[in-house]
Structure 1
């Protein structure tokens, strides 16, 4: 992969800066740790499936675009179905999460999910290598990341281990950042963060594809904070979903969606609300045939396919009717924005709340 990468990378960073996503405080780190150094030769573009990138021109084009890059499929096996299992994140999201982390000189950071190593190198460029620890569960990825980070001139502590446990030998940390999604914030992360510290992580739910939460850790061992936008990441390996129960197509029932605009279901505010009210119900949307379509299922054999013209329901539950009832409650509750929702993490678990930690949602 040999070409003058500077114009393409500079154009990418200039676009991020112009959009407000890359603040001046982080630009020197991005300049010092260019993205291409952390992208392996074999990569895939995520479309409906993972499509291999087979030419140098396509490789460079993808590296200098503001898109995620799949860097591993099937956990590195050669005989799998081609499912993405590790990636280099979209530069906008990298910059957004680092900005949300709100680091200061001298602070120590724990990163969960080393992946390609780019994020760890950016942190090292900003804070110094001695202040950065990164944990990766895949030993092959950890070894490769340690190598390319060193070649880039940085030497953070790259650890092979289960990120759900954090990394106690290096604690306490001022900041913790996760680059994989979790369904529940592990309390180990809170325990290993100094009082006054911060945790930034993508939280995964059934009804939504992912949301970024920013938590501040108090002296009482409780972390609490608000959601700061959507964030779609691969799940932590220990939290990958299992197989769903089959849906019996013979139970199909045709109905009408009613007056509610189907597209209103896709907003993150409603998704957070519905995820709390309808645990276990999964929502996805798209335009497979040029028209908007919504899919619902509950992993236990009930499902619904919804367009603006019709609804097909399957299994014992009437999922569309349940979702529309929750949407009515959401509107009655003032149609809260994503920033109105927050999360509190305690030793015994976590709770989602609306507008105030004193008003749990569920």
Structure 2
């Protein structure tokens, strides 16, 4: 199949499954082919397969029009680091690398733009230009002059401007830290981000017009994120709902990358054996999301040892930790430090079951005027958890 045929097939599939419903957004996706924004060399599939349009054009094109993210940059020494200590996603592009920039999966991007309710006359700030595919979609839908995009990596910002010019588009692309928004062009009707956040940056709420929207990936645990659509009344507060599961590169900040969570061979304070699989709740999206909300401040990483695949869990400082691995026909759970994180997991899973095993889209987010973030279940007046 040619690039044009693959592009058409992807759009028709998204229409058929209900991902794309708005006629103007469908026109934008049809008019802005993804392959024109993916680097011909240096990109990777989510599983780490190297893509090269010159040496293997068929594999490259197939990856571009598969409904997956494409990694376009991995962390390097000195590159901007994740702002909020994200959890490395599995599988990673390599044994010691993590995605620093990517092109979002087409259906995820379509859902994000659908939640934004794009219409003529809107002005939008996009945080995280990346490959500029989303920037071009926004510019096609709203007009070049309505779109401001910021990218923390100057090299990516320059590349995005070049690609957009080649496509006849000229939205404003600035090399800037998206955490601070972009004050010169504020206020905006909409701020949308293709970078995941744990907390909605205060600058975004300050730079949205009263009644405007922020639509972005949100999550306390990378790999168990959701799309958040929050309404902003103009007083620094916000309230909105979560929609489905997504994986995005975290919002970054200048500086060296933080070291990943590692099993450092510490001696446990407690051992226990269990017959049921303790890893499954950490790997399943619904339960991992619930645990991320109900148990504060933890990270997880897959751990491969001689007996099989387990996990390493620790708090954000690495002081309290849990090590889980297969042990014969059972599972060994070891934990140490002042917090008993595994006990907190068990209590949270029991509460989740008591509440009816709610799916992530039953939760929502409230941001108070003083910046306090709370996740709620079913209603902002219902059960809440501090972020």
TM-score, length of structure 2 as denominator length? 0.82
CA distance in 1, matches of 2:219, 2:353: 23
Q: Is the 8 A contact 1:248 1:315 kept in 2?
A: no
Per-residue deviation, 1:90: 0.7
2:67 aligned with 1:43, yes or no? no
Count of paired positions: 359
Q: Counterparts of 1:152-171 in structure 2 under 5 Å?
A: 152-171=167-186
2:260 aligned with 1:237, yes or no? no
SS of the counterpart of 2:374? strand
Tell me what 1:136 maps to: 151
SS of the counterpart of 1:310? strand
**Aligned in 2, Cα 1:70/1:168: closer, same or farther, shift over 3 Å?**
same
Of the three residues 332, 347, 354, the one matched with 2:354 is 332
**Aligned in 2, Cα 1:68/1:206: closer, same or farther, shift over 3 Å?**
closer
CA distance in 2, matches of 1:292, 1:358: 41
Structure 1 stretch 293-302 or stretch 161-170: which is displaced more? 293-302
Greater relative contact order (CA < 8 Å, ≥ 6 in sequence): 2
2:331 aligned with 1:310, yes or no? yes
CA distance in 1, matches of 2:138, 2:354: 43
Residues 159-182 of structure 1: per-residue CA shift (max 9 Å, x gap): 111100111111111111101111
Aligned-CA RMSD value: 3.1
Residues 93-148 of structure 1: per-residue CA shift (max 9 Å, x gap): 11110111111111111100000000010011111111111111111110110111
**Aligned in 2, Cα 1:142/1:278: closer, same or farther, shift over 3 Å?**
same
CA distance in 2, matches of 1:64, 1:83: 22
Tell me what 1:68 maps to: 69
TM-score, length of structure 1 as denominator length? 0.88
**Aligned in 2, Cα 1:59/1:233: closer, same or farther, shift over 3 Å?**
same
More strand by share: 2
Per-residue deviation, 1:288: 10
2:384 aligned with 1:355, yes or no? no
Q: Is the 8 A contact 1:247 1:303 kept in 2?
A: no
Residues 172-204 of structure 1: per-residue CA shift (max 9 Å, x gap): 111111011112110111111111111111113
Tell me what 1:279 maps to: 296
Structure 1 segments unaligned to the other structure (5+ residues): none
Per-residue deviation, 1:251: 2.9
Q: Is the 8 A contact 2:191 2:214 kept in 1?
A: yes
